[in-house]
Amino acid sequence: NAEIAAGRQGIIDQIKAKDVHEILADENLRQYAIAGGAAAFRVNCVQCHGSGAQGAPGYPNLNDDDWLWGGSVDDILTTIRHGVRSPDDSETRVSEMPAFADVLEPQQVREVAAYVVSLSGTPHDPAMVPEGQKVFSENCAVCHGGDAKGMREFGAPNLTDAIWFYGSGEDAIARQVSHPKHGVMPAWEARLGDATVKQLAIFVHSLGGGE
């Protein structure tokens, strides 16, 4: 009825007026935002991230603590707002891994793939690791870090935790090194509005991996 609708609109107006930290500090608003975010997630996000937010090849798991662009509620909000490589948002997050097939010899690609796989204890060819480490230091550490734990300012993933975006094992890593895939996430604020993206950010942050 009209009274219920007015009450809901009042809550939405509060969410619009507050930042995400103020919403989180208000238990009633926080609970409303989580419920509203879950509903919006079911309509807009499950197609890529899955009904349980568990992800799929090329689409990140949102339940763990492995974040490409940061796992604070502010980081998550920025990613939802502006997307990743979204062509219709000038503030979208952008990271472009070069196609190293144009830079490295095929043997070097195999070597660096073996080295990367070795970092997480995944089965690999140990004979290739020493040379692969050299290739990594000279070509990959600038974005992924000398310790290969990634750099969020570049959206460069942690390569030591056995969480793989486009498949695990030496062959899958070699393919990504040679001809990297670059996924796209829409910029959702223009489509859903400020209140809904805030609710989505708070919901995703609540799933267990939020920082």
Residue 166 belongs to a domain with what CATH number? 1.10.760.10
Is 90 in the same domain as 25? yes
- Domain assignment present for residue 117? The answer is yes
pTM above the 0.85 mark?
A: yes
Percent of the chain that is helix, strand, coil (3-state, to 5)? 55, 5, 40
Is 23 in the same domain as 77? yes
The per-residue b/e assignment along 168-186, b for 16 or more CB within 10 angstroms, e otherwise, is: bebebbbbbbbeeeeeebb
Q: What is the distance between the alpha carbons of residues 59 and 56, in angstroms, rounded to a whole number?
A: 5
Q: What is the pLDDT of residues 133-182, one digit of tens each?
A: 999 999 999 999 999 999 999 999 999 999 999 999 999 999 999 999 99
Residue 31 pLDDT: 97
DSSP 8-state code for residue 210: -
Residue 5 pLDDT: 76
Residue 158 pLDDT: 97
Q: What is the distance between the alpha carbons of residues 77 and 72, in angstroms, rounded to a whole number?
A: 8
Residue 209 pLDDT: 87
pLDDT of 1 above 80: no
- Domain assignment present for residue 211? The answer is no
Is 11 in the same domain as 87? yes
Is 35 in the same domain as 87? yes
Domain that holds residue 47: 2-94+187-205
Q: What is the distance between the alpha carbons of residues 73 and 20, in angstroms, rounded to a whole number?
A: 7
15: buried, middle or exposed (CB in 10 Å: 19+, 13-18, 0-12)? buried
| pLDDT over 70, % of the chain | 100
Residue 7 pLDDT: 78
Residue 74 pLDDT: 98
Closest CA to 193 of 10, 13, 1: 13
Residue 11 pLDDT: 94
Question: What confidence category does residue 3 fall into, taking pLDDT thresholds of 50, 70 and 90?
Answer: confident
Strand partners, 56: 59
The total number of structural domains that make up the chain = 2
Is 133 in the same domain as 153? yes
| pLDDT over 90, % of the chain | 93
Number of C-beta neighbours around residue 153 at 10 A: 10
- Residue entry with tokens 């500090």: 25
